[in-house]
Structure 1
Amino acid sequence: MLGQLVAGVAHEMNNPISCIISNIRPAQEYVADLTQILQLCQQHYFQLPPIIQDAIAQADIEFLLDDLPKLLNSMQISTERIKDISVSLRNFARADTSVKVKFDVHEGLDTTLLILRHRLKGLGQRPEIKVVRQYAPLPKVECYPGQLNQVFMNILANAVDALEDIWQQGKRVNDSLAINICTEMSSPEDVTIRIFDNGIGMTDEVRQRIFDCLFTTKALGKGTGLGLAIAHQIIVEKHGGAIKVNSTLNQGTEFVIVLPLKEQHELDA
């Protein structure tokens, strides 16, 4: 259901985005032509009628001719950004399959990060959250990609929350806010994904309950307490893997996910 909703939103975004992208280039060419004509008029007509001179002065035409191409370039960059988000949403939705398929976990991580990029940018006094990727060469994993992306989304969104919390509490003012993502082959049959943030961290008591259903450290109205419980269910029950958390209060949190490359009965065959 979630995949269908996301796919529908991405599809509805695609047509207007394509229209804007296809029209920006001719608009830039039209502006360039009009700019050249106006500049030629200024060069060859020294005594323009007063009404035109007044209009030029009121419009600040020199600034206008300089700024308008920059404005169109900014629009082009923004539409390309929206197109990237639309592609990521479609990829996220396509991953929502009811059967296990071979999946590139790096693609899932990158797609999730792109969707969350608005939360990674600097906000007010809070600096940008840096993401450091250390990806090892990995084979594709046989899994439910949509469910795996849901796990990545829950963990990464929680990491952003933890970084925002430590910044607001003034405990990470001079240090950068960062999320590190590392992948490796932990054995010939398993891949390991480590997601570490240098955020607020947690106490041992909280760490021991973090995967309990309905347990949350968030304020009322800011969480359901289902995200990490579902993540645990997806990794352990649906994929036969393992997930654990290492954390130190005011230093950070690391989630470690271990996934088998194939289903257990295939490995035993």
Structure 2
Amino acid sequence: MSSPINNSILIVDDIPTNIKVLFDILNQNGFRVSVAKNGQSALAKAKEALPNLILLDVMMPGIDGFETCRRLKADPKTKDIPVIFMTALSDTVDKVKGLKLGAVDYITKPIEYEEILARINVHLELRRTQLKLAQEEKMSSLGQLVAGIAHEINNPVNFIYGNLIHAQNYITDLLDLLKLYETHTSDPSPEIKEFSENIELEFIKKDLPHLLSSMAMGTERVEQIVRSLRLFSRLEDIEFQPFNLHEGIDSTLIILSHRLKASPTRPIINIIKEYSDIPLVECYAGKLNQVFMNLLANAIDALEESVVNQKTTDTLTIWIRTAVTDDQKSILIEIVDNGIGISPEVQQNIFEQFFTTKPLGKGTGLGLAIAHEIIVEKHGGTLQVNSTPGQGAQFLITIPIQQVIG
């Protein structure tokens, strides 16, 4: 696993004294700090580490701060990283030039302790908000796309499904009629005999009912997938609605079904559902589906990683359990896997924004943070994790059955 990414800052300055002052200030306040002593090094480190923010000196030999900023903003991988210029220049023209190049702020040297922390925290918070809004917009767009696809598939599927029963009846009647002809025609003509043999009539009579049954089953499966897509896409809910949590979990499993199948690198992932008899829950259905998606996708990731690292010989399994809590006021949802597990250090930070153990480009660190917000802040529930490294992980959700408005 790679190191967690959490409020990392890249300092770019060619003067060692400035670097030390900044490094000490930021390190003491819990930031992960990396250093570059020139523009060329800054471009390489920014692309490799993708820090949450860059403190960039203007006056440097070689590639100065302005050119470094221009190149950062021109690179798709680094263009969204906030850049704060550090300069002793007080000329307004220089500040305007930096802002036009894409910088978000200026800090004037000599560095003031409280000022730099205040400006950094403001822009990190803005960055958090932007990424969170982008993630929510992404999920909303996904919901709209899924709803659109479901709608487009629904009409032709309904047409096929509705007409299959008539096709079955027609073909049954035709087979019965053929049987009557065979019964009352003891000596068919050579032409009929030859044609019957050529088309393998006896096989057709036996196979056709099975073929129609398979078509009906396939159509039912497509209709089930469409229902799941429509259910999963309820991201636009603006008020609490009664919702069947089991339907939400099942719809999410159908969306993820391609990831559960066996692949060249691992066996099938088994899903064991231990559902209790639970009532409908007042909730934002689409948002809860988003939580199920994140937790189940993470469980699949953990199982796949356990195979890659050869840390398990067990059957890959995810257990999903539901129950009413003892006080009869909430529903308990338990999602358990027998993957690689989670270390105590990671468990302490797992629901923080931008915290991830996945390699760069594989995770934003927003999935579990948003899941925690949806459960705790939007529904008044709880989301907890219990795990022992090497022995899998357990995520526990409680959701109030009824929401208290007011």
The equivalent position to 2:371 in structure 1, one of 212, 226, 231, is 231
Equivalent pair of 1:100/1:142 in contact (CA under 8 Å):
yes
The equivalent position to 2:201 in structure 1, one of 48, 61, 70, is 61
Equivalent pair of 1:186/1:192 in contact (CA under 8 Å):
no
Cross-structure match for 2:155: 15
RMSD: 3.2
User: For the structure 1 residues 241 and 171, does the alpha-carbon distance in structure 2 shift closer, same or farther, using more than 3 Å as the test?
Assistant: same
State the shift of 1:192 in Å. Answer: 2.9
Equivalent pair of 1:236/1:242 in contact (CA under 8 Å):
yes
Q: Normalising to structure 2: TM-score of the pair? A: 0.55
User: For the structure 1 residues 36 and 172, does the alpha-carbon distance in structure 2 shift closer, same or farther, using more than 3 Å as the test?
Assistant: farther
User: For the structure 1 residues 236 and 33, does the alpha-carbon distance in structure 2 shift closer, same or farther, using more than 3 Å as the test?
Assistant: same
State the shift of 1:221 in Å. Answer: 5.6
- What does 1:96-107 align with in structure 2 at a 5 Å threshold? 96-107=236-247
Q: Which structure would you say has the larger RCO, counting Cα contacts within 8 Å and 6 or more residues apart?
A: 1
In the alignment, structure 1 residue 259 sits paired with structure 2 residue 373? no
Could you tell me which amino acid in structure 2 is paired with residue 211 of structure 1?
F
Aligned length: 264
Could you tell me which amino acid in structure 2 is paired with residue 60 of structure 1?
E
User: Following the alignment from structure 1 to structure 2, what is the Cα–Cα distance between the partners of residues 218 and 69?
Assistant: 51
Cross-structure match for 2:172: 32
Cross-structure match for 1:85: 225
Cross-structure match for 1:157: 297
In the alignment, structure 1 residue 132 sits paired with structure 2 residue 273? yes
Cross-structure match for 1:181: 321
In the alignment, structure 1 residue 146 sits paired with structure 2 residue 286? yes
User: Following the alignment from structure 2 to structure 1, what is the Cα–Cα distance between the partners of residues 144 and 203?
Assistant: 47
Cross-structure match for 1:241: 381
User: Following the alignment from structure 1 to structure 2, what is the Cα–Cα distance between the partners of residues 26 and 76?
Assistant: 12
Deviations 1:142-174 (A, max 9, x none): 432221121012112222333344456665545
Task: For structure 1, list consecutive stretches of 5 or more residues without a partner in the other structure.
Answer: none
Could you tell me which amino acid in structure 2 is paired with residue 49 of structure 1?
P
Equivalent pair of 2:267/2:316 in contact (CA under 8 Å):
no
State the shift of 1:84 in Å. Answer: 1.8
Deviations 1:60-113 (A, max 9, x none): 222222122111111101111211222222233346312334444344333333
Cross-structure match for 1:208: 348
The equivalent position to 2:212 in structure 1, one of 48, 72, 76, is 72
Could you tell me which amino acid in structure 2 is paired with residue 210 of structure 1?
I
Equivalent pair of 2:382/2:399 in contact (CA under 8 Å):
yes
In the alignment, structure 1 residue 197 sits paired with structure 2 residue 337? yes
Equivalent pair of 1:133/1:182 in contact (CA under 8 Å):
yes
User: For the structure 1 residues 34 and 169, does the alpha-carbon distance in structure 2 shift closer, same or farther, using more than 3 Å as the test?
Assistant: farther
User: Following the alignment from structure 1 to structure 2, what is the Cα–Cα distance between the partners of residues 218 and 263?
Assistant: 35
User: Following the alignment from structure 2 to structure 1, what is the Cα–Cα distance between the partners of residues 378 and 269?
Assistant: 35
Task: For structure 2, list consecutive stretches of 5 or more residues without a partner in the other structure.
Answer: 1-139
| Greater Cα offset, 57-66 or 148-157 | 57-66
Equivalent pair of 2:322/2:331 in contact (CA under 8 Å):
no
Deviations 1:203-251 (A, max 9, x none): 3344334324344445666544432121122223333333121122332
Equivalent pair of 1:194/1:254 in contact (CA under 8 Å):
yes
Indicate the structure (1 or 2) with the bigger Cα radius of gyration.
2
Deviations 1:245-269 (A, max 9, x none): 1122332111112334555675xxx
Equivalent pair of 1:122/1:129 in contact (CA under 8 Å):
no
State the shift of 1:119 in Å. Answer: 4.2
User: Following the alignment from structure 1 to structure 2, what is the Cα–Cα distance between the partners of residues 210 and 262?
Assistant: 28
Equivalent pair of 1:200/1:252 in contact (CA under 8 Å):
yes
In the alignment, structure 1 residue 109 sits paired with structure 2 residue 240? no
Deviations 1:21-73 (A, max 9, x none): 111112222322333344445553445325x4444333322222212211111
State the shift of 1:189 in Å. Answer: 4.8
Equivalent pair of 2:150/2:229 in contact (CA under 8 Å):
yes
Identity in percent: 46
SS at structure 1 position matched to 2:155: helix
User: Following the alignment from structure 2 to structure 1, what is the Cα–Cα distance between the partners of residues 290 and 245?
Assistant: 12
State the shift of 1:123 in Å. Answer: 5.7
| Greater Cα offset, 228-237 or 37-46 | 37-46
The equivalent position to 2:190 in structure 1, one of 49, 53, 56, is 49
SS at structure 2 position matched to 1:99: coil
